[in-house]
Amino acid sequence: MKKVTLFKGDGIGPEICASVKKVIEASQADIEFEEFNVGEAEYNAHGALIPQEAFDSIEKNHVILKAPITTPIGKGFRSCNVLLREKYDLYANIRPAKNLPNVKSPFDHVDMVIFRENTEDLYVGKEEKIDEDTVYATKIITRKCSERIIRAAFDYALENKRKKVSCIHKANILKMSDGLFLSVFQEISKEYPNIEADAYIVDNACMQMVMHPEKFDVMVMPNLYGDILSDLASGLIGGLGFLPSANIGKEIAMFEAVHGSAPDIAGQNKANPTALLLSACMMLDYLDEHQKAEKIREAIYKVLQEGKVRTQDCGGNATTSEYTDAILMAMS
């Protein structure tokens, strides 16, 4: 029995966590969850985003499934995601964006995987107040972190029979920082002669994604661009409710939906659990439970293709519970 640390999160987190637990149990995957309350409520109650017992669980189990956690804007505590990524050096944020059956989207040929460097760039959170009207933020790009995320992207392409890796950068302006990332990409690409390699300035990449998404296969980029472009990619496949992600380090891996905690619909049984379900499938693949992951995916695809049971965010009126029950029925 493989033990997984489960963070129930804030807002809609507990609801979609309950959905995922039911589906994984129905798949008969060899998984047991250790559950913890984390996030804003935990912080307000006990002064810490994540209790020590939860950290102990992570360091014992090495795998985390995490529901969305609220991060205050402009004040308050730091992002729980950033904290975990830094603490456990979860350097590779992998976000696959692929069209799903019968989900309305602007395009029907999207199949891209974004590799986002997860530990540096502006997300180090180093800001300095120079005076009342001036703040400096520090952008950090290193050869070490650039090499490992770029190599991870090429290795993924090789292992998954992908044809191309695209580097996204702003080296025309940020000649030293993004210039370093681009030069490392160009060096490493020579080690993979059977995989096409190209590069896009980030603003051009955004335009091409919304005009010709079929140009992109595997994409690799620094932290900030990865955060922005993966949200853009979700819009190409129907929204954030359908975008899963993995955060992979040398010893520990965390799987989470990309979307936020949606406090406006929390507790109303309206949330779409698909992104967290697909993230759980990525987790099952990571744990070598490939057949169980595929069983869940096929059930999700079947329910979406039939189109009879849809949550409100994709044009239906089904509750979270009704949508979950439809997936369970498709698995039976």
Instruction: Delimit the domains of the chain by residue range.
Output: 1-92+240-332, 106-236
Query: How far, in Å, CA of 307 to CA of 315, rounded?
Result: 10
User: Does the annotation count 111 as an active-site position?
Assistant: no
> Residues 108, 155, 203, 288: which is the catalytic one?
203
Q: Phi, psi (5° rounding) for residue 247?
A: -120, 110
Q: Do the two domains 1-92+240-332 and 106-236 of this chain adopt the same fold?
A: yes
Active site residue 231: yes
Q: Which of 164, 152, 10, 38 is nearest to 95 (CA)?
A: 152
User: Do the Cβ atoms of 256 and 268 come closer than 8 Å?
Assistant: no
* pLDDT (tens digit per residue) in 295-321: 999 999 999 999 999 999 888 899 999
Q: Is 131 tagged catalytic?
A: no
What is the distance between the alpha carbons of residues 282 and 219, in angstroms, rounded to a whole number? 18
Reported as a single tens digit per residue, the pLDDT across 146-190 is 999 999 999 999 999 999 999 999 999 999 999 999 999 999 999
- 227, 270, 292, 313: the catalytic one is 227
Full-model pTM: 0.92
Predicted confidence at residue 38, as pLDDT, reads 84
| Choice among 111, 231, 285, 325 that is catalytic | 231
Q: Is 43 a catalytic residue?
A: no
Class of domain 1-92+240-332: alpha beta
The pLDDT of residue 13 is 92
The pLDDT value recorded for residue 115 is 98
Give the active site residue among 88, 123, 200, 323: 123
Q: Mean pLDDT in the chain? A: 93
Q: Which residues of 211-232 are buried (b: 16+ CB within 10 A; e: fewer)?
A: eebeebbbbbbbbbbbbebbbe
The CATH number of the domain covering residues in 106-236: 3.40.718.10
Q: What is the tens place of the pLDDT at every residue in 256-279?
A: 998 888 888 989 999 999 999 999
Buried b (16+ CB within 10 A) or exposed e, 60-82: ebbbbbbbbbbbeeeeebebbbb
Contact 5, 65 (CB under 8 A): yes
Is residue 155 part of the annotated active site? The answer reads no
